[in-house]
Chains A and B, each alone.
Chain A
């Protein structure tokens, strides 16, 4: 009797993904879709797609979806969740969307402690527009707008979103995970499921930051890009739980 070890999740539609070869968006989509199916919430979930590479996310997740203006996904999610409190609402945002133009929205949604789930995919570059420097681009990393490498002087420090948001008392759960190999994917899926379960239980604002790749923007092969995450991104973006009110862990502990 054959046992299926892995097949495409029914949480994804049959639409072929528009992402470049080897892009981790596809892998992270699978983790989110599998989590929605395993928690049995797929039928009552509403996805909020961002602007950026994952702008067509609503075409790929097998649930209802809305696409928000650049960076405004948390604001749109707030409206949808408040008017449909029985629905599960998640936003899926890249670093250009969440950490650049949408910084205001995410900070205010976190301060309001909205009962929603945010998936923040950080690949340290603006992928869709042609590999320009993003606020999350690492120091000395070469992009099309920092051809000699990003310099601390003039462009500042790469934004640490999880660390920043974990300081907010009304945040329930924040964890940073990575999507560069199988052990980390297993951990990432656990975090994604936890963030969604928190919303089901009405706990409040949960966010998972997922470190991903942009092989085309980084000018690397997909396999080399995975190595880059391991060697260059993990030291600056340490993985771990930054806030978890369930266990009072992390920096965002509330008195």
Chain B
């Protein structure tokens, strides 16, 4: 299960690897990531999602802090 969020930049989440630890949401300088309480992934966690991709600056901080390598960040797609 892959979730893609695309505007100027693109975030790709490998949903089933996410453990809902919230580190990406806490680290995001734009505060545009949260745990999606409406979904449960294969591990039984609420996976991370981006709710405002328009404001993403593709800094890569969410991906670097993620212990489970869930997030891929692409600039200028």
Asked whether A and B interact, the reply is: yes
Is A223 within 8 A of B26, CB to CB? yes
Interface range for A = 20 to 34
Q: Mark interface residues in B7-23 (1 if CB within 8 Å of A CB, else 0).
A: 00010000001011111
Known contacts A1-B76, A6-B60; decide if A22 and B17 are in contact (CB<8 Å).
no
Is residue A25 within 8 Å, beta carbon to beta carbon, of the partner chain? yes
Is residue B1 within 8 Å, beta carbon to beta carbon, of the partner chain? no
Is B72 within 8 A of A7, CB to CB? yes
Please indicate the chain B residues that have their CB under 8 angstroms from the CB of A25 in the complex. Answer: 67
Is A3 within 8 A of B22, CB to CB? no
Is residue B31 within 8 Å, beta carbon to beta carbon, of the partner chain? no
Is residue B5 within 8 Å, beta carbon to beta carbon, of the partner chain? no
How many pairs of residues, A versus B, come closer than 8 Å at their CB atoms? 82
Please indicate the chain B residues that have their CB under 8 angstroms from the CB of A255 in the complex. Answer: none
List A residues 166-191 near B (Cβ within 8 Å).
181-182, 185
Is A5 within 8 A of B22, CB to CB? no
**Which of A8, A24, A223, A226: most chain B CB closer than 10 A?**
A8
Please indicate the chain A residues that have their CB under 8 angstroms from the CB of B26 in the complex. Answer: 222-223, 226
Please indicate the chain B residues that have their CB under 8 angstroms from the CB of A246 in the complex. Answer: none
Is B65 within 8 A of A185, CB to CB? yes
Is residue A221 within 8 Å, beta carbon to beta carbon, of the partner chain? yes
* Bound-state Cα–Cα, A182 to B69, Å: 15
Please indicate the chain B residues that have their CB under 8 angstroms from the CB of A6 in the complex. Answer: 60, 63-64, 71-73
Known contacts A2-B10, A22-B22, A22-B23; decide if A185 and B64 are in contact (CB<8 Å).
yes
Q: Mark interface residues in A22-60 (1 if CB within 8 Å of B CB, else 0).
A: 111111011000000000000000000000000000000
Is residue B53 within 8 Å, beta carbon to beta carbon, of the partner chain? no
> A1: shortest Cβ distance to chain B, in Å?
7
If A5-B75, A182-B27, A222-B21 are given as contacts, then 7 extra A-B residue pairs at C-beta distance below 8 Å, sorted by A number, are A6-B64, A16-B17, A21-B19, A22-B21, A30-B64, A182-B64, A222-B23
Residues of A within 8 A of B (CB): 1-9, 12, 16-17, 19-27, 29-30, 181-182, 185, 215, 221-223, 226
